[in-house]
Amino acid sequence: MFLSVFDIFKVGVGPSSSHTMGPMVAAGRFLDRLRASPFHAHGLRASLHGSLAFTGVGHATDRATILGLAGFEPGSYDAERAEEVLAAIRATGRIEAPGLGPLQFDPEKDLVFDYGHALPGHANGMRIQATDAQGDVLLSEVYYSVGGGFVLTEAELAESKSDRPAAGPAVPFPFESAHQMLGMAEASGLSIAAMKRANELAVRSAPELDRGLKRIWQVMNDCIERGMETGGTLPGGLHVRRRAKGIREALLAERGLNMTAPHTINDWMSLYAMAVNEENAAGGQVVTAPTNGAAGVVPAVIRYWLDHVPGASPAKLGDFLLTAAAIGGLVKHNASISGAECGCQAEVGSAAAMGAAGLAAVLGGTPAQVENAAEIALEHHLGMTCDPVRGLVQVPCIERNGLGAIKAVSAASLALRGDGEHLVSLDVCIETMRQTGRDMNDKYKETSLGGLAVNVPNC
């Protein structure tokens, strides 16, 4: 099993990796298929199902789908141009798809929110079709947005659930569980980061890897900075005030005061995470870590380490990200990082496990201590529901990232106080999360049909 660090950490656009980035990617894949087909299409249409329908407007799924059909991609998203293209599509009823010419598409009629039964493969399902001049279907494909910006066709999803081994590059340390990961670390004498680096170097050069890791952190840190400098109110109708700017100003004003409480460090961690998730909620550029809804946790832990921990060195940033990606890959492979599939335990819980592992690694933890840190962080998010008010990635998502970062740091610290021996393994914790998500009522899995979403006034 090999999931690249650049699969776990992807540069994209808010507010949701599964509901915004995923549909945009799916639409782009459909265009590729249409370009390769012998048919000459006259129009396009799409339908959103399950969680994509119930929270699609709040997550900008409709916009993302339309823009994806117009050739936009998450990694190179241009917000200003997107608004121009959307306005033109609404005015003309046509999409100018790259390499395909104009295609009929009326957003009011050709994009359907289907609130009936979800498609069978996953809670985040969508169907895209190309039609001829009479409206008959020429080409149709079902896509599933399975979390973190990952998209699978119906056939690919079935293949992933089969007993056949997944195809992938040959890597020197193909661990599929934490148990295997620790065994390989012990046998090789390497850290988790070193093994992950060796795996990455099987598919790309060292300069390419290092440039990519540097860019991931640059985008993360730029997002923190933008979030801390921007005030105002978030879009969507809840009138949620952006708080990061004011919190930062208050914390800077308190610096140097003898009466500052020790627990104020928690406010700094929350600040960094909330800055990212306010940017995400506003549709800004973020890095999936492993999702957009949980994008603030890992950057907040890194920024806490760099700014507040003596001896922290940017030279170790690669080790942090590689270690975190190894843990995120295990969670995705053996359970889920999708809120629509397993609730917020799969998003913020996974992110906290990744942040805890990365921090433990750069603070000198052994592989066993790193695994313990990830387990502690994930264990204490088990059962967490995903219940965004009005389907917006704002309440409770923004603050939840701050608390996830605090838990990650606490988990790393606690693990480093031990020797790595512990009762509940990370593998057991991941499997428990999977089972809990399977048993969780769909009302609490990113449908906004239960929890805070129905108990908090939506206006």
Give 161-168's long-range contacts (Cβ < 8 A, gap of 24+): 166/1, 168/1, 168/2
For residue 165, the model assigns a pLDDT of: 56
For residue 166, the model assigns a pLDDT of: 58
For residue 33, the model assigns a pLDDT of: 97
Is residue 148 predicted with pLDDT exceeding 70? yes
CATH architecture type of domain 16-160: 2-Layer Sandwich (3.30)
162-172 tens-digit pLDDT:
766 556 789 99
For residue 258, the model assigns a pLDDT of: 78
Question: What is the band of 260 on the pLDDT scale with cuts at 50, 70, 90?
Answer: confident
CA distance 395 to 297: 16
93-119 tens-digit pLDDT:
999 999 998 999 999 999 999 999 999
339-393 tens-digit pLDDT:
999 999 999 999 999 999 999 999 999 999 999 999 999 999 999 999 999 999 9
Is residue 293 predicted with pLDDT exceeding 90? yes
Delimit the CATH 3.30.1330.90 region(s) of the chain. 16-160
Query: Token match 């001896």: residue?
Result: 311
pTM of the model: 0.95
Backbone angles phi, psi at 54, to 5 degrees: -65, -35
Tokens at residue 166, please?
Answer: 């997944």
Is residue 197 predicted with pLDDT exceeding 90? yes
CA distance 280 to 386: 17
236: left (phi over 0), alpha (psi -120 to 50) or beta: left
CA distance 449 to 106: 29
Angle formed at CA 38 by CA 33 and CA 44, multiple of 5 degrees: 55
404: exposed, middle or buried (Cβ count in 10 Å: 0-12, 13-18, 19+): buried
Return mean pLDDT, the chain: 96
For residue 106, the model assigns a pLDDT of: 97
Whole-number Cα distances in Å, 223 to 27, 332, 376 = 26, 25, 28
Query: Which residue spans within 33-157 are E strands per DSSP?
Result: 43-50, 94-97, 101-104, 111-114, 124-131, 137-147, 150-153
Helices (H), 9-60: 22-36, 51-54
The DSSP symbol for 166 reads P
39-71 tens-digit pLDDT:
999 999 999 999 999 999 999 999 999 999 999
111-114 vs 43-50, strand pairing mode: parallel
For residue 384, the model assigns a pLDDT of: 98
Is residue 274 predicted with pLDDT exceeding 80? yes
